[in-house]
Amino acid sequence: MSLALDGIRVLDLSRLLPGGFCSLLLADFGADVLKVEDTGMGDYIRWAPPYYEGAHESARSALFLSLNRNKRSIRLDLKNERGREALLALVREHDVVLESFRPGVLDRLGVGYERMREENPALVYCAISGYGQDGPKRDASGHDMNYLGLIGLLGLTGERGGAPVQAAGQIADLGGGALMAAFGILAALRERDGGGPGSGSTGSGEGQLVDVSMADGALSWLAMVAASYFADDAVPHRGDLPLAGSLVCYRPYECADGWVTLGALEPKFWQGFCRGVGREDLIPTQFERPGSPAHEQVAEIFKARTRDEWEAFARENDCCLEPVLELDEALSSELVASREMVVELDQPGAQRPVRQLGLPVKLTRTPGDHARLPGPALGEHTEEVLLAAGYSQAEVAELLSAGAAAGPAGDRSGDRSGDRSGGQQDLSFRV
C-alpha cells in the first residue's frame, strides 16, 4: 500500500526537536527524508542518554530514535566547497529542504535559499527559527521557554499570585515550530503541485520559502485570549483565564490519593457533577473563582474519594471528570493501547525492541507506517546517496578522503565523530 507522502523527497539539515519532529511526521507518512549531518558529531541528540545497548553507538539514544525512525543519514562538511557542491547536487533532486540554523547562516556559506533555488526553482525551503527570518530578534538565541515567555503564554500559566509554570511538553518547539513547519511545507507543496483533477488548481510549479518562527507559532495558540483582549482591552493575568484556572468548574482537584481533572464548563456537566455528589446547592456557583467558599467546598468533596472512586463516579455521571495519570500509567492505559500510540521498532543490534510513541494522525486509506526504516547510524547512507546523485565510486572516495563528506561514524573515511567538538553547524545552530 502506498503512503500519503510517497514520492516527496526531503533534505533535513535540522537538529534536535523542532525540525526532527517535523520531518518525522513527513517520514512516517512516506516521505523520503535524508538527514544531512556534519562530519563531526552530527545531530547532538544522537549522544543523549538513555541508550538501547547493542545498537550502533550513534543510533542507540532513545531520544534520537524517537525522532529519527524512517530516515537516512549522510554527512557533509558545508565549510568545504566540495561538501557544498554535493549538497547542491542533492538539492536538484529533492522537493523540500528543512533547516533550523540561525537566519543567514546558510547564505554566508553560499548555500542559502536563493542559491538553492537557482539549482531547483521548484524547491520548498522551510526555515525554522526562534523569532523568524526578519524582525528585531532575528539573530537572538533561544529555547522553548524563552519563546513562551516573550509571547505571553508562560506569563499566563499558573495560579494567581504564583510563579509561572513550565509545561512538561515543549509547546513552542512542537506546537509552534514542528507542526507549523509541517503544515507550511504541505501547503507550499500543494500550491506548487496543484490539487489534481477537478480541483481547479493546476499548481504554479514553483517552490517558495516557508518562514516558521517558533514564537509566532506559539503566539497563535493564544488566538482566543488575544481576541478577548483586543475586544475589551482587559489585560488578563495568571490565574484569571477561564480555561487556565479561574473557574471552580474547570480545574484540577486533589483527591484522597492523587489528582483528578474536572472540566464541567457546560451547565449540563456541572449540574451532573453537583447532583452526582448530592450537592445541588452548588449548581449556582459554577463560575465562582478559586478561593471562594464554593471552591473550598468542592475541594473538600474531591478529597473524600480516591482516584479510582472518582473514575467510577464519572462512568455513572457524565461530567467531564478524568484522573491525572503519571506517565507510566498513561502509556500503559487502555486508551493509549487501543489507539496504537505506543509502538515498537526493531533497531539493528539493539538487545530489545525500541518502544516509541506511535502516529498521532490516523488515515483510513493510506495510514502511516512507523517501521519502514530503523533510526540511521551517523553517515550510514553517505556513499549510497552520493552514488545515486551521480557521483562515481572514485569521486565518492575522493570526497571522503578530502573530508568533504564522511561515511558511517567509526569508519576511517573522513570520520571526525570521535572529536565531540562538533562540525560546521556548531557556531550557527539555533536550538
Question: Is 369 a known active-site residue?
Answer: no
- Spans of all domains in the chain: 9-221+341-406, 250-331
| The pLDDT value given to residue 427 | 31
The SS3 assignment for 53 reads: coil
User: Using CA atoms, how far apart are residues 428 and 413, in angstroms rounded to an integer?
Assistant: 25
Helices (H) and strands (E) in the chain, counts: 16, 12
**396 touches 76 (CB < 8 A):** no
Q: Please provide residue 166's backbone torsions phi and psi, each rounded to the nearest 5 degrees.
A: -80, 135
| The pLDDT value given to residue 195 | 86
Reading the block at residue 92, the C-alpha cell is 536538484
Give the single-character DSSP code of 130.
S
Question: Is 381 a known active-site residue?
Answer: no
Active-site annotation holder among 173, 211, 216, 411: 173
Could you identify the residue written with the cell 487556565?
Answer: 244
* Residue type (1 letter), 251: R
Packing angle, helices 16-28 and 179-193, rounded to 10: 50
pTM of the model: 0.93
Omega prior to 408 cis, within 30 of 0: no
Residue ranges with strand state E in 122-229:
124-129, 209-213
The SS3 assignment for 16 reads: helix
- Radius of gyration of the chain measured on its C-alpha atoms: 25
* Residue type (1 letter), 358: G
| The pLDDT value given to residue 201 | 85
How many other CB atoms are there within 10 angstroms of residue 297's CB atom? Answer: 14
CATH superfamily of 9-221+341-406: Crotonobetainyl-coa:carnitine coa-transferase; domain 1 (3.40.50.10540)
For residue 124, list its beta bridge partners.
96
- Of 3.30.413.10, 3.20.10.10, 3.30.1540.10, 3.30.1600.10, which CATH number belongs to 250-331? 3.30.1540.10
The SS3 assignment for 382 reads: helix
How many other CB atoms are there within 10 angstroms of residue 293's CB atom? Answer: 9
Reading the block at residue 304, the C-alpha cell is 473524600
| Mean pLDDT in consecutive groups of 10 residues from the start of the chain, 431 residues | 95 97 98 98 97 98 98 98 98 98 96 98 98 96 97 96 96 98 98 88 95 98 98 96 96 98 98 98 97 98 98 98 98 98 98 98 97 98 98 98 92 51 37 38
For 111, the enclosing helix (H) or strand (E) is none
Could you identify the residue written with the cell 492505559?
Answer: 333
* Residue type (1 letter), 338: S
